[in-house]
Amino acid sequence: MASVSLSLEGKVALITGGSRGIGAETVRLFSQAGARVAFSYHQARERAEVLAAECGGYGMCAALRQELSTPAEGRALVEAAIAVFGRLDVLVVNHGIWPPEDMPIAEMGEAQWRRTLDVNLDSVFGLVQASVAQMERQAPPAKDQAAGHIVLISSTAGQRGEAFHADYAVTKGALISLTKSLSSELARKGIRVNCVAPGWVDTEMSAATIGDPALGAKIRTEIPLGRVASPREIAGPILFLCTPLAGFISGEVLNVNGGSVLVG
C-alpha cells in the first residue's frame, strides 16, 4: 500500500515571525516537507541564522530581517522573499504581539492600541496584497492544483474576546474576517485562504502567564485536554492546509485549542 505524504516539494513558502515558537516549528515542518522557506525575524538574528542553517541553509532556507508594522514593510518582505527564491506559493502570517500586562480599556493608551494594530493587522494588508499579486503573476497551476495558499494565524481571543487585551483580540478577530473575505474573492482564482486559531501554546510569548502557578492552573483547567499545546501541534495543521489533502478547504477557521472554544 502506498504511503500518504504531506509533501510541498517544489513550493516556496514565506513564514512571518519564524525565528521562534510556532513560527520556528512551522519553518522546520515546511522544510521537512520539501519546501524552500523564507522566514522573517525582527531582533533574534543569531537564532534565525541557526534555524536557517538547520533547515538547509543557502538555496533552501533564508532568514530575512524585517520590521512588520506597516503595509509597506509587509510588501517589502514579500519582495525580499521573491528575490531569494524567484516565486511564492505559500504565505503564512504568524507574526504578532500580545502585550502581556492586563490593561483595562479605560486605561489603555493610544500608543499601545496603535502599536498592536500596526503589527498585527496593518502589516498583514501589505503582506497579503503583495503575495496575491505574485501568485496571480505566476504560471497557472495544473488542473485542480492551488495557485497559492495563504494561512492567517488568529487566536481564541479573536473568537470569544479577551478581557483586558481588547487590542489583541480586535486584531485576531479581524484576521478571521479577512480570511473569509479573501477566500470569497480569491477561491475562483485558485488561491486557498484559511485560518488557524490556536488557544494557549507553550511559547516564549505566553511563558510568564502559563508559568504563573495560579494563572497556569486556571488555564489548564479550562482546556478539556488538560494542557497547553506545543508549537509543533499548531505547525502541523498549518502545513496540512497547504497540501493537496486540503485542496477543497477555503475560508475555514481551524480551531487548534484542545477543545476549549468550539466555534466555526
Q: Residue 19 above 90 pLDDT? A: yes
Whether residue 254 contacts residue 195, with contact meaning beta carbons closer than 8 Å, is answered with yes
Mark whether 168 is an active-site residue: yes
State which residues form the domain around 16: 12-256
Catalytic residue among 39, 85, 98, 168: 168
For residue 5, being part of any structural domain is answered with no
Q: What is the mean pLDDT of residues 248-258?
A: 95
Whether residue 171 contacts residue 158, with contact meaning beta carbons closer than 8 Å, is answered with yes
Q: Residue 140 above 80 pLDDT? A: no
The answer, as to whether pTM is greater than 0.75, is: yes
Q: What is the spatial distance between Cα 212 and Cα 207, in angstroms, rounded to a whole number?
A: 8
For residue 40, being part of any structural domain is answered with yes
Question: pLDDT class for 16, splitting at 50, 70, 90?
Answer: very high
For residue 4, being part of any structural domain is answered with no
For residue 264, being part of any structural domain is answered with no
Q: Residue 126 has what pLDDT?
A: 98
Q: Residue 264 has what pLDDT?
A: 57
For residue 2, being part of any structural domain is answered with no
Structural domain total, the chain:
1
Q: What is the mean pLDDT of residues 39-50?
A: 94
pLDDT in tens, 102-128: 999 999 999 999 999 999 999 999 999
For residue 6, being part of any structural domain is answered with no
Q: Which of 59-63, 156-160, 233-237, 260-264 has the weakest average pLDDT?
A: 260-264
Q: Residue 3 has what pLDDT?
A: 76
Q: Which of 76, 69, 204, 63 is closest to 131 using CA atoms?
A: 76
For residue 181, being part of any structural domain is answered with yes
For residue 44, being part of any structural domain is answered with yes
What CATH number corresponds to the domain at position 75?
Answer: 3.40.50.720
Cell matching residue 234: 499548531
